[in-house]
Structure 1
Amino acid sequence: MESIKALSVLDGRYKRLTGELVDVFSEYGLIKHRVQVEIEWLKFILMDLKLAVLDKNKVDDIDIILNDFTGKDALRVKEIERSTNHDVKAVEYFIKEKLTEKGLGDIGEWVHFACTSDDINNTAYALMLKKGRDIATALLSDLVETVEEKAMAYKSVPMMSRTHGQPATPTTVGKEFVNFAWRFNREVNILKEATVQAKINGATGSYNAHYFVFPEIDWIAAGQRFLTTHLQLEPLLYTTQINPNASLSFILHALIRSAAAVVDLDRDMWGYISLGYFKQRLKKGETGSSTMPHKVNPIDFENSEGNMGTAISMMEHMAVKLQKSRFQRDLSDSTVLRGLGSLFGYYIIGIKNCIKGLGKVDLNATVLENDLRANQELLAEPFQTAMRVFGEENPYERLKDLTRGQKIDKEILDAFVDKLEKVPGPFKERMRQLTPATYTGLAEQLVDHYFKEK
């Protein structure tokens, strides 16, 4: 009953597809990551910089605040926020409460030491981004594997291409799948290597409060050490109050490119199903149309395309918007960042439905063969190219007159070849032996090359 009243499809209709994002990007997830940053900063202040005395045996008591964090704790933070009207301050007060309960109230004022709220927020979002990136990258890798399987299975199956929707130079089905596998895999590699940056340098990015009270500490080095060692994030030194989000934008643009490639695959598969190149497996009980009983619609690819389009629009906005701020700080980024989980939600729905669609189709080789056999004019390209090599006059124009706007058969082509004056006899025989199905160039070898180079 809860999901039927959900405002967003991510928590309603598609809840089953987005479950792995809940603990990362929900309000609970954001609060927990804020608690993580505050706790790790507190431990760093006390144990690394030794700004106050703490019994080492008490560190576990501090860690328990994070390790045992529950939904009930998140609700307590929200309860405090109703009084503070400030979400990060509520986290600070929550941690102080917990410390007091554990007899550690004397270190309470070291919580949130010298931090501005965005020191906590940007670092929490950086941790969330890393997890979201890893989830998305794993799913994109699954898509690569699925597409690669198709590439190998169909690497030798000839297929008529279509440029501008018109019959064009043949390829192989496997080669077309490899084109997509390469595009997806490129973004997988970029995403895996992408660093995630965070800053913890104070109200306007210059460690002002830190330096005022402890000028003897190298705060630049300390901040770098904290982010690198304790949170495995790349330190960002040159900021205003907020993170300029360059690393977020970099990751989003890689996701945008991969999403666009998924849409491209979705549309191609939709078209190939329409042409009859692929058949969709039937499932008992499913309905394709409310009025046309015969229909089996390519709904998985359509769903993938639609959700990827939504993801792209959100990612494009966020990638640009979050690199802008008025002077040293405004809050317009805050509400936008809360949509980070939504764009990952639409993205993974798009990936999952594309994979689902690919798993429900089988190649219809007969239709491909018939298409190639019915389009002998595809050989106009190699024939006019050969005629150029051997010095025949007006090769392009002669093939254009023979083939453009009309269907021809093999007999007409053979008769044309017989009349050629400068093409040597053995090469004429090669031309006669050529068919659209065998005119696939190095398509098969390119499939092998992809797997060899990967």
Structure 2
Amino acid sequence: MPISRLEAISPVDGRYGYLVEELKLFFSEKALMRYRLRIEIEYFIALVSFLKASGHKILIDVNIDVKFLRNLYSESNFNAEEAKKIKELEKVINHDVKAIEYYLKEIFSETHDENLSKALEFVHFGLTSQDVNNLAIPLAFKESMEIYYRNIKLLLDLLKDMSREWFDLPMLARTHGQPATPTSLGKEVYVWVYRIESQLKILAQIPHSGKFGGATGQFNAHCAAFKNLDWVKFADKFVQDVGLQRELWTTQISNYDNLAAHLHGLERINTILIDACRDFWQYILMEYFGQKIIKSEVGSSAMPHKVNPIDFECAEGNLLMANAIFSFLCSKLPISRLQRDLTDSTVLRNLGVPIAHTIIAIKVFIKGLKKLVLKKEQILNDLNKNVVVLSEAIQTILKREGLQLPYEAIKALTRTGDQVTIEQLNGFIETLDVSDSVKNELKALTPSNYIGQYPSME
């Protein structure tokens, strides 16, 4: 009996389940069964065709209904009732992949199709369970990434729109938390866009790969049964047709190196998002942004006035949770005792968890960004009162003019701990041994126009 969201142990299935409903198609127990069934069926179709073309006497006259077979693992056909049948078989034999094989053979027997009856024992022929798992899981992961890319694109599009809108809005930078050379709000937002898109390009270059080669990776059983067939060539094509790249040298299990690389990539992007969440949180603290007020909402159970930046905090927490699991998976999965141990099997069942936390974070982050209310006057006031940031520009121009020790001269004025006014700065400029044109050039500098230049955003 299915549990309600209120009874779920994990917040991924409970509190936040509505945000990641789509992921159930890829990472639930039922989804894993369906992907395993898909691999078993596609292998059966490819194997029968291959052996038939090779002249195998049992299969030479067999004609299988490919459309019927592929419909067995379709989303519309493989429902909860079918998944329960597999689960019941697993309870008896205590093996989840063998249960898929028996389930498929039962269907073949029930159809009373002579073609399927002749080919019955070519279901799971020569395979170990990891030939199925190590294709099913990376394929599910690959296809689930459509959801990730769709959501990260929504976030990037929003950040790009914000960057364009605020690109000409000068803003005080803070390095080490202290007033520093001015920047623009739009430019600072676009830094995150640039970083994420750079990592996405790297992520796109990593192959989605899987293991397929029998009990220890070199088709021993296949070769014993059919000595003169090119099983390496067959496997390469089969795995490619499924939608993956075959790992050529393996033990019983996948090397998991490419999967780990994908997870590392997602972890790096999440780290960039954590950086963005914390900065937006800080900008709200600095009152560069307010937040849209929803009258029905409560910010604090004790303090009625509060409007907390909860979306950025929730996003950050979910990103940190995702990265903790990504990091663990990356360090664990590529390691196995000798030709295999079973630790990867139970660990891989959690693959959807960090992806879910990531999707939750992205959606909540977007929600937080849409609540922001720009406080332009506060941003400009903070910038313009910090005229000391012009000291960098002044000493650089004076170096250009050949003045001796300009850094030390401006340091004496600006590094006192007191607020420096524009009048004090102009008074300092008047004492300099430079031409009037240079003095005018220095006086024309303001925190708002000392911005520099940027590359094109496009």
Into which bin does the TM-score normalised by the smaller protein fall?
A: over 0.9
Question: 1:106: Cα distance to partner?
Answer: 3.1
Counterpart contact for 1:154–1:172, Cα < 8 Å: yes
One-letter code of the match for 1:221?
K
Residue 2 (structure 1) aligned with residue 13 (structure 2): no
Partner of 2:49: 47
Matches within 5 A, 1:287-326: 287-326=298-337
2:216 to 197, 204, 223: 204
Report SS of the residue matched to 2:335: coil
Residue 282 (structure 1) aligned with residue 293 (structure 2): yes
Matches within 5 A, 1:192-341: 192-229=204-241, 231-341=242-352
Question: 1:303: Cα distance to partner?
Answer: 0.5
1:36 to 35, 38, 43: 38
1:79 to 73, 82, 88: 88
Question: 1:49: Cα distance to partner?
Answer: 3.3
Question: 1:187: Cα distance to partner?
Answer: 2.2
Q: With structure 2 as the length reference, what TM-score do the two structures score?
A: 0.95
Residue 371 (structure 1) aligned with residue 398 (structure 2): no
One-letter code of the match for 2:364?
N
1-structure distance, mates of 2:435, 2:43: 81
Counterpart contact for 1:278–1:362, Cα < 8 Å: yes
Matches within 5 A, 1:93-242: 93-103=102-112, 104-229=116-241, 231-242=242-253
1:17 to 16, 19, 36: 19
Question: 1:386: Cα distance to partner?
Answer: 1.4
Counterpart contact for 1:76–1:94, Cα < 8 Å: yes
Residue 61 (structure 1) aligned with residue 63 (structure 2): no
1-structure distance, mates of 2:104, 2:33: 12
One-letter code of the match for 1:3?
R
2-structure distance, mates of 1:49, 1:17: 46
Partner of 1:91: 100
Question: 1:147: Cα distance to partner?
Answer: 0.7
Question: 1:190: Cα distance to partner?
Answer: 2.7
Counterpart contact for 2:155–2:362, Cα < 8 Å: yes
Question: 1:55: Cα distance to partner?
Answer: 4.2
Counterpart contact for 1:123–1:199, Cα < 8 Å: yes
Deviations 1:207-242 (A, max 9, x none): 11111111111011000010112x111111100000
Q: With structure 1 as the length reference, what TM-score do the two structures score?
A: 0.96
Counterpart contact for 1:61–1:102, Cα < 8 Å: no
One-letter code of the match for 1:102?
T
Deviations 1:123-173 (A, max 9, x none): 000111102222212211221111111110000000001111111111000
2-structure distance, mates of 1:2, 1:53: 52
2-structure distance, mates of 1:56, 1:149: 56
Partner of 1:426: 437
Question: 1:400: Cα distance to partner?
Answer: 1.5
Counterpart contact for 1:62–1:99, Cα < 8 Å: no
Q: 1:214 to 1:415 in 2, by over 3 A?
A: same
Deviations 1:328-379 (A, max 9, x none): 0000111110000101100111111111111111211000111012111111
2-structure distance, mates of 1:57, 1:227: 20
2-structure distance, mates of 1:9, 1:94: 33
Identity %: 39
Report SS of the residue matched to 2:457: helix
One-letter code of the match for 1:64?
N
Counterpart contact for 2:38–2:70, Cα < 8 Å: no
1-structure distance, mates of 2:49, 2:268: 43
For structure 1, the 5+ residue unaligned runs are none
2-structure distance, mates of 1:49, 1:363: 68
1-structure distance, mates of 2:376, 2:68: 66
One-letter code of the match for 1:13?
R
Counterpart contact for 1:137–1:188, Cα < 8 Å: no
Counterpart contact for 2:311–2:368, Cα < 8 Å: yes
Report SS of the residue matched to 2:15: coil
Question: 1:102: Cα distance to partner?
Answer: 1.1
Counterpart contact for 2:62–2:118, Cα < 8 Å: no
Report SS of the residue matched to 1:121: helix
Report SS of the residue matched to 1:56: coil
Deviations 1:230-269 (A, max 9, x none): x111111100000011110111111011000000000000
1-structure distance, mates of 2:450, 2:302: 43
Report SS of the residue matched to 1:288: coil
Question: 1:86: Cα distance to partner?
Answer: 0.6
Question: 1:189: Cα distance to partner?
Answer: 2.4
Q: Which of 136-145 and 263-272 deviates more?
A: 136-145
Counterpart contact for 2:389–2:447, Cα < 8 Å: yes
Question: 1:194: Cα distance to partner?
Answer: 2.9
Question: 1:290: Cα distance to partner?
Answer: 1.1
Question: 1:64: Cα distance to partner?
Answer: 2.9
Counterpart contact for 1:167–1:375, Cα < 8 Å: yes
